[in-house]
Each structure stands twice: as C-alpha cells, then as structure tokens.
Chains A and B, each alone.
Chain A
C-alpha cells in the first residue's frame, strides 16, 4: 500500500469510522451481486411439454418473444417407465396402444404450441421421444441456455402440492436459468 493509500485509509477511518460498513450492509439487502448483475445471453431455449400441460400462459409467450433470435426446441417426452409397466402388467398390445395414443397426443400438443410460437415469428424445432423425463431434461439442458418448465410437468399438481416432483428434481440439477410457469 502506497503512502497516499495509507493516508487516505487512515483519514477515512477517522472520518467515516464504521459507518461505511453499515451502509454497505443496508445496500446489500436489495442490490444485485456482481454475479447476478451479468445477464445471461440466451441463444437456445428448451421447452419440455407432456400430457399434463394443456397450454403455455400468454405471459410466458411475451417473455420468450424477447429471445426471438434464439433457437427454440419444443420437447415431448413419453415416459418409458410407464410404457414398460403397462407391458409388464397388461401386455405388449396394451403397451403399443399406449405408445400410439401418447405419440398422437404429443404431436397434437407440439403442433398447437408450435403454431402459437410461429404467430410470434418464432419457428421452433419439434422433438418427441420415449425416455426418462427428469434424467433426459437434465442431460439436454446442458446444451441450452434457458429452460422453460410448467409447474405441472411430469405429474398433476394440487393445492397442497403446487409443484411437480419432476420439476423440483430438474431445477435442483440444472445449472442454467429456468422459467417455471
């Protein structure tokens, strides 16, 4: 520390005492930290959908329209474990029937949501596959900058359980920003 620095710090201590520390503490309560201040650049958005999601709220479309230059991926995952359980209990035919219906429903929902995005000038990529919802999304999220999830993704929600356990698991494991609607 130079002569000037030590003089300033000594005089500062004489004049301000510990008042500055108190002021800083008070400011910290409501100002963003340096890490929080850096706004992430969004180039790719992942939007998982499933049978528990009927629609995406208008507010979410508004927010996402700010990233219209980004790549949007609408993803419908059919739970492979459910398909396996049906096969084990009701047989292969019932399982195939389930897969067919789920695919149809998935394509219908993807088409509906996709049209809404197209109306905003966004052309999303559509993907549908059988898999493990939480594991596959946690893995895929690494290749995206923003994850947009419904509170009801993966299971129905109730007043007493307002957040799906699948969503809870996903948000605990991904390291990108998440919008939960």
Chain B
C-alpha cells in the first residue's frame, strides 16, 4: 500500500466513524491521527505545519472566557431581559430571541448560546400556551446564521480565517451583511409559516406580562462583581478582535489574552474553569488536522485540486460549486472535517485562480449548510435534544421541511451577494 492510499483510507475510515456516530468523534479523529503518525505518513517534525494552533488556541481561549462569564449568570440575565422586552407578544419573542441568539452566536460558540437560551424560550412558550416549535426553529437558524457573521462565530470560520489569514474585520465586512439579510429573511419565513401559531388573546397577554414582571433578571446574577468584570472583558476582547490585524496579532492571541485576563481579574478557580474546556472538541480538531495533513503530505489534495480545476474553469463556477457542495455536505455530515479537507483544496486552487472569494463561499456553505437537516449542526442537535427532554417532539422530517427551505434560500442570498461583489453582473 502506498502512503497515499493509506492516507485516503484513514481519512475515509475516520469520516465513516464520525458519520456513523458509533464512537465519539474525538476518539475517531485521535485514532486516525495516531495511525498516520505511527506509519510516519506525516513525519513527526511536520506536525507543527499541519496542527493549526491558531484554531486550537482561539477555541480554547474563547471557551475559558465563556465558562468564566457563565458563572456570573450573565447569559440567564440576558435571557430574562429579552423575555421581558418581548412584553408577552409572540412575534416580539420570535424577533428578539432570534436577534439575541444571532448576536451572541456571532461572538460566542453556538452550543453555549442555545444551551442557555433554550430553557427560557421553552418557559415563555409555556407561559403563552403556544407551541415552542417556531421559536426553537428560529433560534436554531439564528444561531447558525449568527455564527456565519464573524471569524469567531463558528469553528469553520476560525479554521478558514486561520488558514487564509483573514482578519476579523474582513469576515465582518464579507459575511456580516449576508448574515444580517439571511436572519431577516429567516424570521420572515418562520413568521409566515407559523403565523397562526403565534397568537395570544389580549387577556392572556396581560397575564404573561404580569408573570414576566415577577421575574427579576437581577436575581439571575450570581456574582455582581464577576458579572461586571465578565461584561468588561468580553467587550474588550471583541474590541481587540476588531483591531487584531492593525496590531499585527493573531486572533488566537487575542482569545488567550482575554482568557488569562479574565482569570487574573476575577480570581475564579482556574482548575474548575480548565475542567470545563471542551477537550473532546479540541482533540477532534487536532486529530483532523493531522489526518488532512496526511492527504496534503502525500499529494492527494493537490491531485484532487488539479481534477477540480480541469472541470471548474472560472472563479464564478468555483464559487457556485464550493458553496453548494459544502452547504449540502454540511447538512448531512459534520462541517468541521469537511472544512478541514476543503481548506487545502482551495489553497491548491490558488495556483490558477484568485481564491479570495472562495473562502467566503466555503464559510457560507459550511456554516449555513447546518440549517438543512436536524443533524446538520451542533446547535440543531442541542435544541432538539432539549426539546425532546421537555416533551416537545421535532421530527427529522418536520425539521427538514423548514430547514432545507431556509438553507437553500439563505445560501442562495449569500452566494448572490458574493457573486455580485466578486464576479460581477
């Protein structure tokens, strides 16, 4: 067996294990990486070349910041405040929670965002005596769309930003407007699809307002000093992200700086915070980088890129192919291994065309593709999982009917904007 064959076999085997869900994806990736290193397909000295520390440290830093801030009750505070602002109107609940979810997801990870907002959404739905399904679906879509908007919003964006050396501001300028339009369109679609299920009587509305008035958002704050410090650090970190390219520092450095600052200033127990870092996710990323590195090392990626270039002749064609391929693939399989494999492919395509727009195409497809099916993104699984635990059933088909439409429309809008901007009329 040639090293190339082994690299492809390990990649496909790992991918199959991840898709099958038979064993944890982190274990699958670790095993695949171990085989690659054991067989010396990627020499030990080349590990730093493939192991993307920018991605790993950026994720780690943001996990530390989020887990420290969480202890203050910050997110519960935001959830209650949003619920009160909605003033008992289902449409305002839909609108406000979607916007809040999208904004938080654009700076923090999607899973944490939906984990913290979903219980509040279910609570308000019960209070309004309405089906929570439209609100939950909107939350899922908003989370995935919000994550698309920034460099730190979704892991594929972190990977793309690191590989292509794209700044936070470049992401915001290119993906921010697409995300904003997509969010508006998504809320409108949900509203039109569930219009009849979003009504309460005026009497009921008064009762909801009375009950919500009884909720004290300040009671959610467990530690006011930690709360204030967490808000300050998050704002400071976001401001640094805006400036990182001007300051000439990597996004990972910003995240690690913010993480160390929050630990230093708040004096929270570091051991407790480090325990909450999602190590399985980091090991999954690490393993994948090595497995995809093996495909690069053996020249497989270069060959695939050559093959793609013989069939895709223009930048416009490449834009469409990458966007739709990554969108439909992400709807079915995990978008992280997909992005990991697509990145070196696009890099190789750079020899014969300007690949700058293709990075945005990949980001668009990989992030928004997750909206297509119930298992397309982590946020989907978490919200549907929570809903099931609370006796609210969202079946695969129920989700597919709305999700696929949302995915196709939002990706089409995004690809249209990218086309106008980079290919022209």
Contact = CB atoms under 8 A, between A and B. Distances in A.
Interface of A: 4-5, 7-12, 14-16, 19-20, 23-24, 26-27, 29-32, 34, 37, 39
B384 A37 contact: no
Contacts of A27: 76, 119-120, 123
Given A15-B378, A16-B115, A27-B119, A9 B126 contact: no
The bracket for how many chain B residues form the interface is 35 or more
B115 A19 contact: yes
Contacts of B396: 4
B116 interface: yes
Contact of A24 (B119, B127, B374): B119
B2 interface: no
Given A4-B374, A26-B73, 15 more contacts: A7-B21, A7-B375, A8-B381, A12-B381, A12-B385, A14-B280, A15-B111, A16-B111, A16-B115, A19-B112, A20-B382, A23-B119, A26-B220, A26-B222, A30-B76
Contacts of B196: none
B161 to A, nearest CB: 23
Given A24-B119, A32-B211, A8 B388 contact: yes
Contacts of B24: 14
Residue among A4, A8, A16 with the most chain B CB within 10 A? A8
A19 B116 CA distance: 10
Contacts of B219: 29-30
B384 A39 contact: no
A20 B387 CA distance: 12
B241 to A, nearest CB: 25
A30 B384 CA distance: 24
B214 A32 contact: yes
Contact of A23 (B21, B116, B381, B385): B116
B77 to A, nearest CB: 10
B211 A12 contact: no
23 contacts: A4-B374, A8-B384, A8-B388, A9-B388, A12-B384, A12-B386, A14-B25, A16-B111, A20-B115, A20-B385, A20-B386, A23-B115, A23-B119, A24-B119, A26-B222, A27-B76, A27-B120, A27-B123, A30-B215, A30-B219, A34-B126, A37-B211, A39-B210
Interface in B203-256: 207, 210-211, 214-216, 219-220, 222
